[in-house]
Amino acid sequence: MVEIRRVNFLAARFVAGNTAEEALDAVHRLNEVGLKASLDVLGEETRSLEQAQAAVREYSQLLGWIGASGLDCNVSVKLTQLGLSLGDGPARDNLLKILDAAAKHGNFVRIDMEGSAYTQRTLDLFHGVFESRKNVGVVIQAYLRRSASDVKELNRAGARVRLCKGAYKEPPSVAFQEKEEVNRSYDALALELLERGNYPGFATHDDARIEAILAAAAGRGIPNDRFEFQMLYGVRKPRWTDLKSRGFNVRIYVPYGTHWLPYYYRRIRERKENLIFALRSVLGR
């Protein structure tokens, strides 16, 4: 039990709490200083329809609370949490239920991208529901070699895309392995989204990537309200407020729940600074 509490304490930097109430409080605090939010109920690789249906109920209730509170906040979902491992049909049905719940409150749902084994299925499912539900967007990972063609297809469809670098371990045949390659891909995809996308979200904490986006937007006369920056809860807070103070839209990805371990592990893998922070927290330094 001591070890579980210790890890939970470390994860608290990146996770808003165990309950929806804690997460909504975090969103309220973000909104108070002009920051938008996206709530994520932690969980993935659901193995039963009952678990998937429980996730649908949680998201539907969450969307109701967001609407009643007047918060500037949408939600993010993982398709494996909605039953994708059980088949495309259950995941699609459950996603549609969440999209309909969001539509009742004028809200928006982002489909998170998971490991490359799910990329094509995720995009196929997204395009299928996007034909009739426009309150849904998707994530593209810049380190995947296929992403350039995926972004072009999504832009043609008028989809809202969140661009991130990618946090899953992938083989060289699927993903760029060198940091410089990933950065070049990110910059090229960001430019494509700036020029032809529908209100893209640029998910990055990399100052060079941020400045490249700002320079490209300024050079092309693209106004600040045509895109937004997205950052993770608990990571680089001064950068959030800096961009907000300069007139840019900033959305914070706010996860909550008890199934935090896979998410926490990916945050540690992404940046060694996150591990250093966590260790200092334990040592009291």
Q: What is the pLDDT of residues 63-118, one digit of tens each?
A: 999 999 999 999 999 999 999 999 999 999 999 999 999 999 999 999 999 999 99
DSSP code of 145? T
Using CA atoms, how far apart are residues 259 and 264, in angstroms rounded to an integer? Answer: 10
pLDDT at 6 over 80: no
Cβ atoms of residues 121 and 88 within 8 Å: yes
% of residues, the chain, pLDDT over 70: 87
Q: Is 241 exposed, middle or buried (0-12, 13-18, 19+ CB in 10 A)?
A: middle
Using CA atoms, how far apart are residues 117 and 24, in angstroms rounded to an integer? Answer: 32
* Catalytic residue, candidates 110, 162, 209, 251: 162
Cβ atoms of residues 52 and 25 within 8 Å: no
Whole-number pLDDT of residue 45: 87
Tokens in use for 78?
A: 């993982």
Using CA atoms, how far apart are residues 275 and 116, in angstroms rounded to an integer? Answer: 25
% of residues, the chain, pLDDT over 90: 81
Q: What is the pLDDT of residues 148-179, one digit of tens each?
A: 999 999 999 999 999 999 989 999 999 999 99
pLDDT at 278 over 80: no
pLDDT at 147 over 60: yes
162: helix, coil or strand? Answer: strand
Whole-number pLDDT of residue 283: 43
pLDDT at 229 over 80: yes
Q: Which residue has the tokens 């469809």?
A: 157
Write the CA distances from 124 to 119, 160, 227, integer angstroms: 9, 15, 25
Using CA atoms, how far apart are residues 146 and 68, in angstroms rounded to an integer? Answer: 40
64: helix, coil or strand? Answer: helix
Whole-number pLDDT of residue 254: 97
pLDDT at 186 over 60: yes
End-to-end CA distance of the chain: 23
Whole-number pLDDT of residue 209: 98
What number is the average pLDDT over the span 229-233? 96
Domains of the chain: 2-283 (3.20.20.220)
Q: What is the pLDDT of residues 33-71, one digit of tens each?
A: 999 999 999 998 898 999 999 999 999 999 999 999 999
pLDDT bracket for residue 276 (50, 70, 90): very low
Would residue 124 show up in a list of annotated catalytic residues for this protein?
Answer: no
Whole-number pLDDT of residue 279: 45
Per the model's pLDDT, the better-predicted residue between 38 and 265 turns out to be 38
Would residue 162 show up in a list of annotated catalytic residues for this protein?
Answer: yes
* Catalytic residue, candidates 40, 110, 112, 251: 112
Per the model's pLDDT, the better-predicted residue between 119 and 17 turns out to be 119
Beta-sheet strands, E only, within the chain? 36-41, 73-77, 109-111, 136-141, 161-164, 201-203, 228-232, 249-256
Q: Which residues are registered as beta bridge partners of 281? A: none
pLDDT bracket for residue 14 (50, 70, 90): confident
What number is the average pLDDT over the span 170-189? 98
pTM: 0.90
Whole-number pLDDT of residue 258: 79
Using CA atoms, how far apart are residues 207 and 204, in angstroms rounded to an integer? Answer: 8
